[in-house]
Amino acid sequence: MITGKTKIIGLFGNPVGHSLSPAMHNAAFNYEKMDYVYVPFNVKPEYLKEATQGAFALNIRGYNVTIPHKTRIIDYLPEVDPTAALIGAVNTVKIQDGVSKGYNTDGIGAIKAIEEITPISNKKVIILGAGGASRAVSFQLLSSYEVELLILNRTPEKAFELKSDLESNLKTTLSAGGFELLVKEIESADILINTTPRGMHPHEDDEPFLKARDIPSHVVVNDLVYNPLETGLIKEASKAGATTISGLKMLLYQGVEAFKIWTGQEPPVDIMEKALYDFL
Ligand code: NAP
């Protein structure tokens, strides 16, 4: 039951109608009998500043931030965690002791999903895409592990931009290029992560990046798209006998990390995962 003592966690996005996060977090709060509620707020871009001030004024304890606000919200936060600052995007805010602090749990979420399946250290990783999700995953990956990283993008210039940003900020080296390199490079890769929306609903029939015949069975294939759960790329990887990771796992673990930031407690991961599957 919601009372005057209930702690409110929000979600700022536009749109928010299809978000799976309310189902996932409210299931966890209910299961743990925690006096919290997770509420989505549709925040128009022109009201983002007012929304951050409003959350503070209303004693909201924290919130998630999603499209289209993840980058701009940094301008309105007095404190930003160093990794989120490097990524240049915030997806989780905690309000405590009169301060709103921003974090980014997207990259950690993606990495936890992969760690669950395979060790990452010293592996060759190919990331497809050079947008916001690619930035979060590649910054977190290179901050956490020694890896050989190759970023491929439809617009190669953007992959090169991200490469130089990563190299200058993290004092590391990596490679970048266009998708034409993929079939050759996948032969020696260990992990493939698709961070582009190719194959995402309503474009399920998009040509997958690779056919089964081109996917070595030793490669772990992670598609960040979770709608549909089985993308064309995941289907081809399964046909090839490769291990696959659904995008739902990244969604789950970014939520797990956000839950820990807001509450200081370990969440019931199985309950959160079941809520996601039930919702879909
Ligand atoms: P974004 O910033 O707009 O970047 C999109 C990237 O994908 C760009 O590199 C773009 O290439 C490329 N791209 C777009 N359409 C493409 C296509 N049809 N074929 C090949 N490449 C294409 O988007 P984002 O925020 O990074 O999100 C990307 C995807 O990640 C979305 O599908 C989103 O649902 C998913 N995602 C999942 C989670 C999760 O929890 N599982 C979290 C975040 C994001 P150009 O540079 O050439 O335009």
Query: What are the tokens at 160?
Result: 């090169």
Confirm or reject: Cβ of 130 under 6 Å from ligand 1.
Answer: yes
Confirm or reject: Cβ of 105 under 6 Å from ligand 1.
Answer: no
**Residue 112 annotated among the catalytic residues of the structure:** no
Query: What are the tokens at 194?
Result: 């698709």
Q: Which of 5, 33, 44, 70 is catalytic?
A: 70
Residue at token pair 């772990």: 220
pLDDT tens digits, 31-79: 999 999 999 999 999 999 999 999 999 999 999 999 999 999 999 999 9
Q: How far is the CA of 138 from the centre of ligand 1 (A)?
A: 13
Q: How far is the CA of 196 from the centre of ligand 1 (A)?
A: 3
pLDDT tens digits, 226-275: 999 999 999 999 999 999 999 999 999 999 999 999 999 999 999 999 99
Region class of 59: left (phi > 0), else alpha (psi between -120 and 50), else beta? left
pLDDT tens digits, 178-200: 999 999 999 999 999 999 999 99
Kindly report the pTM of this predicted structure: 0.95
